[in-house]
Amino acid sequence: MNTLSYKTKSQKKEDVVRNWYIIDAEGEIVGRLATKIAHVLRGKHKPDYTPHVDTGDYIIVINAEKIRFTGNKMKDKQYVSYTGYPGGQRIKTPREVLEKKPIFILENAVKGMLPKNRLGRQMFNKLFVYEGPEHKHQAQKPQEFKF
């Protein structure tokens, strides 16, 4: 009797090889860029992707203040927060957020596309977003990510 064993190999967290990638967000659309970043952070671009293990790579995003929205989202979209006090609901448009904290827009979009659990928080910690073209990760020798 011939017993062939076709077992799916699950990746172990000790065996994961992580790369560093750099992405220039200048002129990119927020949602489309965020989906690509979330895909890489989860590790779905690798052939040895395992859902219950963080197999993703590190991502550095530069020029976050030059990101763009399509259509009328710059004035119609709303970022809602709540202080916890009566009358404490705060609403901001992307234009207001871009002026004060442009990093928040991309981080918020990517965070919403990751799992809402410990593993998702661990994946999100591998994302580094910077406003300008400078970053402090030259020592990791990041490669430019090709979409």
Give the start-end residues of each E strand in 14-103. Answer: 20-24, 58-62, 79-82, 89-92
- Reported as type and span, the H/E element at residue 83 is none
* Type of residue found at 133: P
Domain containing residue 50: CATH number: 3.90.1180.10
pLDDT in tens, 9-30: 888 989 999 999 999 999 999 9
- Average of pLDDT values for 132-138? 95
pTM above 0.85, yes or no: yes
Tell whether 12 is covered by a domain.
no
Q: How many domains does the chain have?
A: 1
Tell whether 10 is covered by a domain.
no
Domain that holds residue 132: 18-144
Tell whether 92 is covered by a domain.
yes
The helix/strand/coil state of 34 is helix
pLDDT in tens, 76-131: 999 999 999 999 999 999 999 999 999 999 999 999 999 999 999 999 999 999 99
Distance CA 134, CA 138 (A): 10
What CA–CA distances, in Å, run from 62 to 9, 93, 107?
Answer: 35, 22, 12
pLDDT of 1 > 60? The answer is: no
Tell whether 89 is covered by a domain.
yes
Tell whether 60 is covered by a domain.
yes
